[in-house]
Amino acid sequence: MAEEQDEHRLIAERRRKLDEWRAEGAAFPNDFRRDALAADLQSRYADHDAEQLAATPVRVRIGGRLIRKRVMGKASFATLRDMSGDIQLFVRRDDLAEGLYAAFKGWDAGDIIGVSGTLMRTRTGELSVHCDRLALLTKSLRPLPDKYHGLGDTEARYRQRYLDLMTNPDSQRIFTVRSRIIRSIREAFHERGFLEVETPMMQPIPGGAAARPFVTHHNALDVDLFLRVAPELYLKRLVVGGIERVFEINRNFRNEGVSTRHNPEFTMLEFYEAYADYRDAMDFTESLLRRLARDAVGTEQLVWQGESIDLAPAFRRLSVRDAVVEHNPQLGAGVDDPQALAGYAESLGIEVGPHWGNGKVLLEVFEKTAEAALIQPTFVTDYPVEVSPLARPRDDNPAVTERFELIVAGREIANGFSELNDAEDQARRFRRQAEEKAAGDDEAMHYDADYIRALEYGMPPAVGEGIGIDRLVMLLTDSASIRDVLLFPAMRPRD
């Protein structure tokens, strides 16, 4: 209660200052233009000592948020923060117009200001702007949190991201890295001749992934529509149409649980390439991840939550079956015995459904016992047909598909497979999925008749893949939760 009363008092004082500023007729000016950013100055003049800066004056105009100030009689030091970082200000009464220094002393942390002056170095060697002009541009009516060291309440950081970005430089770093990753992805695909496209976010039939969709209603058409769970079936329609290398950086929506790895809306990269298969996609994905790491964080050697991860060596390739055997030695030959495997799954606490086949049980055991143990980059391959309704079966073993998932630090980063381009086989699998949905599986796929029609015109052999951008950013920024890498994650309302 005392803290709230103190905050109300501070806000009231700032409002009083704003009223005085308004009365002067100068509030919220929009005529200041800056010509430099703090980080650029810090970098460009890193090797200039005090004598060099004094001998050849460098005039600058910078603008940003007043983070802190230290008033010492006729002179003061302050810190200004812009989108690039911080820089120190040196403000002396005798260098300013009459009355300006007194006004400056009344400005508050959080105010947005513009300053002009020359670069200098203090006795401690810190690059600073020796100010000869100051302007208050925006009055901050609320005090900055936690004495300007950032928000201590993790939930508050997510709910009030603007405060987090304002006071926590590491948050700005994370989202800068995210932007670099997405830019590098686009460059890599454009270099390979891919076409970037946009596909519908509202779809009459949700498809492309096993997930529970969000439902909305279009009033004019009087139809229910689904927010897309994946763009896959639309992108493959484009491959049928002759766009043989296509990609989309897309927002997907799944009406499922929220956790450190899941948010109801998330960002994916999906791409499709004709006349290639899942082995080609694995090779490309491996090189792409190395490129993204170099471009975004400058190294292929990462640390994620205390685990050292090296992207430089060739990524391991391991089948689902072999991963289960490796991490469940007590299972032995039972991995190939449906009854023994189902019994083993139940001993792990997995509730085996009445309609589950051996492939579904095998995948559940893998996810329960092996996935989290795969720390170094590993392509897990040969997923059962039963759990891969859109993937092409292997010619030498029709029970498994030409599908892989890339697991790093125990988490799925990518999922790809050679595409099923047999229209009749795809129709059979859709019908099986529709039966499972009718039996109560909310995540089973619908039957998409138009997609089957497209396949009947003929789709060339192709590979497709989805890469989770959010999880990739988590990996490259050492972030434990998906909420750390989303500017505005989904949160339960306070009230």
Any idea what the Cα angle at residue 294 is, between residues 291 and 296, rounded to 5°? 100
> Each residue of 116-132: pLDDT tens digit?
999 999 999 999 999 99
- Position 434 confidence tier, pLDDT thresholds 50, 70, 90: confident
- Measure the CA–CA gap between 105 and 347, rounded to whole angstroms: 70
- Cβ-based burial of 275 (10 A; exposed 0-12, middle 13-18, buried ≥19): exposed
What residue spans of 75-160 are helical by DSSP H?
A: 100-106, 154-159
Taking 70 as the threshold, does the pLDDT of residue 428 lie above it? yes
Q: Which two tokens stand for residue 372?
A: 């989290």
d(CA 21, CA 19): 5
Tell me the per-residue pLDDT of 244-273, one tens digit each, with 9 for 90 and over.
999 999 999 999 888 888 999 999 999 999
Q: Is 405 annotated as a binding residue?
A: yes
Do 193 and 214 form a contact (C-beta atoms < 8 A)? no
Q: Give the pLDDT band (50/70/90) at residue 147.
A: low
- pLDDT, tens only, 207-234: 877 788 999 999 999 999 999 999 999 9
- Could you tell me where in the chain the CATH 2.40.50.140 domains are found? 1-144
Determine the Cα–Cα distance for residues 283 and 392; give it in Å rounded to an integer.
18
Report the top-level CATH class of 1-144.
Answer: mainly beta
Cα–Cα distance measured from residue 290 to residue 464, given in angstroms and rounded to the nearest whole number: 20
Q: Is the pLDDT of residue 315 over 80?
A: yes
Interstrand relation of 112-121 and 403-408 (parallel, antiparallel or unpaired):
unpaired
Sign of CA dihedral 182, 183, 184, 188: positive
Question: Where does the pLDDT of residue 148 fall: very low under 50, low under 70, confident under 90, or very high at 90 and above?
Answer: very low
- pLDDT attached to residue 152: 62
From the CB of residue 387, how many other CB atoms can be counted at a distance below 10 Å?
19
Per the annotation, does 4 bind a ligand?
no
Q: In what order do the strands lie in the sheet with 223-227?
A: 202-203, 223-227, 215-218
What pLDDT does 151 receive? Answer: 61
Phi, psi of 97 (to 5 degrees): -65, 155
- Give 85's DSSP letter: E
Question: Cα(495)–Cα(489) distance, rounded to whole angstroms?
Answer: 17
CA 242 to chain centre: 31
Amino acid at 332: G
Q: b/e string for 151-182 if b means 16 or more Cβ within 10 A?
A: beeeeebbbebebbbbbbeebbebbebbebbb
Give pLDDT, residue 211: 84
* Contact partners, residue 326, CB within 8 Å, separation at least 6: 318, 370
The sign of the dihedral angle between the CA atoms of 466, 470, 476, 479 is negative
Mean pLDDT of the chain, nearest integer? 94
What pLDDT, on the 0 to 100 scale, is given for residue 437? 77
Whether 1 has a pLDDT exceeding 70, the answer reads: no
The ranges of the chain annotated as CATH 3.30.930.10 are 166-315+376-484
Both tokens assigned to 427? 């129709």
Across 45-59, 97-111, 247-261, 423-437, least confident range: 423-437
Contact 419, 463 (CB under 8 A): yes
- As assigned by CATH, the class of the 166-315+376-484 domain is alpha beta
Residue type, 432: R
Read off the amino acid at residue 436: E
Q: What is the pLDDT of residue 446?
A: 80
Mean pLDDT of all residues in 169-196 = 96
* One-letter amino acid of 55: A
